[in-house]
Amino acid sequence: MLSWMFSTWNRSLAVEASAEPSTRILQDPLKHRSLECLQDLIELGGGGTWPPTATYEDSWPRPLRPYHSVLRIMETSLPVEEPSLDNARNREIIDTFRARMHSELVRCVDIREVERTLEEWQSHSDRSVQSAWLGFFACISFLRHAYRWGVTPIVSEAQSETSVLFPGELDLPWLALQRHFGISSPSGCMTSICYSNMTTAADHLQYSVTAGMPELHSSTEFWNTKLVIDMEVKVAITYMDLENQDAARDALKSANDILRAALKHFFSTMVEKTLSPKVWMAYVQGFQGWALDDVDGISGGQSLIFRTLDSFLGIRPWPTTEKERLHIPEAQRNWLNCLRDYDIRTVAKQRNYDQVTAELESLVKQLRLWRMGHMRRMQPYESVHRPERKTMTAGISVVDAADEEQMILHLKKELGRRLAQTI
Ligand code: HEM
């Protein structure tokens, strides 16, 4: 979601109105902290666009390209059609997969060259380099998650691990990526595994965890990422000027219309024919989990649009910096903090801008309705029985509920808390 606000700038100087929202924002000469945060988000966080544009192996420095080749070699060995229910057998499968990946990494990657290259790369900050960093972020995240699980559908043998020692070939670039994007988690995040995994030209996934599986698996995997990205694309709104109540009201009216259409898209996509519940839980959600060293993997809760809405509308409590820093890159966090600091609903109330307040309340109402719908819609997905594993969500870890019914009760309680806070 892109928006910038409280401008006192004369909009007759506005940049080409027909340009893409990201371009308009980047070209806007206004000097304002909120606009600067948004420009950084697009430039540093997205490689010149939001949602991000990632580029892949051809755009990376040569010493980093073998990572892509290793992922391609390993991709098809990860998913199986029928997971084993035998722990000892699964231990063997996981260990064999990890040993194979490790030996491919040792064979293909020159770790000293990688170290030198990453140090040098870190000093470049232009946009095309950012896109390459994003693609590399995706690649290393996929490798790390594949190493972490060793097989998908994920199995309880791997879920029972509390810690895993990763090869230096996967830790060294990860430290550089953590520094570069300003995150602290050892796992991937929505930015690396979803936003950075869609090729712009062909609209397909660059990396897949369902390679070699039937079409239903790959289309569910595709739509899982596509939906997250579509939501970012559809909620691109432009600036609003709080100095002028009428302009602010009109901008918020259009934000309400845009959000309504985006949420409709959300619910018409989260259906069986695009996202198969049977396949989603086993082949998409599991891989995105982490559940090591008390750290979780990817949750829809990391999607920028919903964090932006919460921050813009003052839906508290804010996550602690430490928690948010795990999975949300620095440029995104700065943007969110800027919205939180401004606290538009309080400002509108202080100024007695009743029409602006009414539009803001209407956005809150839509967010509440989305949370209710999302809670209902997640149930068929999260209640699928998978005997090979313990109940788990990618974002809130292994729950190990007695059965699926208990799991749903647990999740309804978790999601219900945020719904109750949406006021
Ligand atoms: C099959 C699709 C999906 C299912 C089954 C699902 C399920 C869940 C579950 C169980 C949670 C709570 C546990 C956790 O964080 O892991 C959650 C949280 C969340 N999900 Fe989803 N989700 C889906 C797709 C999405 C998408 C596409 C988005 C956004 C584009 C999204 C946005 C969120 C948000 C924002 C939260 C945090 C809670 C909140 O803010 O209310 N989800 N989801």
pLDDT single digits (tens) 35-93: 899 999 999 899 999 999 999 999 999 999 999 999 999 999 999 999 999 999 999 99
Residues 6 or more apart in contact with residue 154 via CB below 8 angstroms: 282, 286, 287, 289, 388, 389, 392
CB 355 within 8 A of CB 346: no
Please give the pLDDT value at position 1.
57
Whether the pLDDT of residue 214 is over 60: the answer is yes
Distance 377 CA to ligand 1 centre (A): 10
pLDDT digits (tens, 9 = 90+) for 249-288: 999 999 999 999 999 999 999 999 999 999 999 999 999 9
Using most ligand atoms within 8 A of CB, pick from 225, 299, 368 the residue to mutate for ligand 1: 299
pLDDT digits (tens, 9 = 90+) for 290-318: 999 999 999 999 999 999 999 999 999 99
Distance 171 CA to ligand 1 centre (A): 29
What whole-number distance in Å separates Cα of residue 195 and Cα of residue 189?
9
Query: Which residue's CA is the nearest one to ligand 1's atom 6?
Result: 378
**Confidence category of residue 18, pLDDT binned at 50, 70, 90:** low
Q: From the CA of 266, give the closest atom in ligand 1.
A: 27
Task: Report the share of the chain in percent with pLDDT over 90.
Answer: 83
Please give the pLDDT value at position 196.
97
Query: Which residue's CA is the nearest one to ligand 1's atom 9?
Result: 378
Whether the pLDDT of residue 12 is over 90: the answer is no
Q: From the CA of 419, give the closest atom in ligand 1.
A: 41
Output the CATH code of domain 217-421: 1.20.58.480
Please give the pLDDT value at position 396.
83
Q: Among residues 232, 157, 243, which one has the least CA distance to residue 196?
A: 232
Enter the DSSP assignment of 315. -
Query: Which residue's CA is the nearest one to ligand 1's atom 21?
Result: 300
Whether the pLDDT of residue 16 is over 60: the answer is no
- What pTM does this model have? 0.96
| Average confidence score pLDDT of the chain | 93
Q: What is the mean pLDDT of residues 3-31?
A: 65
Residues 6 or more apart in contact with residue 71 via CB below 8 angstroms: 139, 142, 143, 146, 207
Q: Among residues 370, 219, 231, 377, which one has the least CA distance to residue 284?
A: 219
- Residue 315 Rama label (left phi>0; alpha psi -120 to 50; beta): beta
Alpha carbons within 13 angstroms on the beta-carbon side of residue 313 total 25
Distance 326 CA to ligand 1 centre (A): 18
Lining ligand 1 with CB less than 6 A are: 227-228, 231, 270, 275, 280, 299-301, 303, 306, 371, 374, 378, 381-382, 393-396, 411, 414-415, 418
Q: What is the mean pLDDT of residues 222-238?
A: 90
What whole-number distance in Å separates Cα of residue 228 and Cα of residue 374?
13
Q: From the CA of 280, give the closest atom in ligand 1.
A: 1
Q: Annotation-wise, does 410 bind a ligand?
A: no
Distance 414 CA to ligand 1 centre (A): 11
Whether the pLDDT of residue 212 is over 70: the answer is yes
pLDDT digits (tens, 9 = 90+) for 309-362: 999 999 999 999 999 999 999 999 999 999 999 999 999 999 999 999 999 999
Spans of all domains in the chain: 57-214, 217-421
**Confidence category of residue 8, pLDDT binned at 50, 70, 90:** very low
pLDDT digits (tens, 9 = 90+) for 78-135: 999 999 999 999 999 999 999 999 999 999 999 999 999 999 998 887 777 999 999 9
pLDDT digits (tens, 9 = 90+) for 145-180: 999 999 999 999 999 999 999 999 999 999 999 999
Identify how many contiguous H helices and E strands the chain contains and give both numbers.
19, 2
Distance 337 CA to ligand 1 centre (A): 22
ipTM: 0.97
Q: From the CA of 393, give the closest atom in ligand 1.
A: 16
**Confidence category of residue 17, pLDDT binned at 50, 70, 90:** low
- Residue 352 Rama label (left phi>0; alpha psi -120 to 50; beta): left
Whether the pLDDT of residue 246 is over 60: the answer is yes
CB 180 within 8 A of CB 122: yes
**Confidence category of residue 9, pLDDT binned at 50, 70, 90:** very low
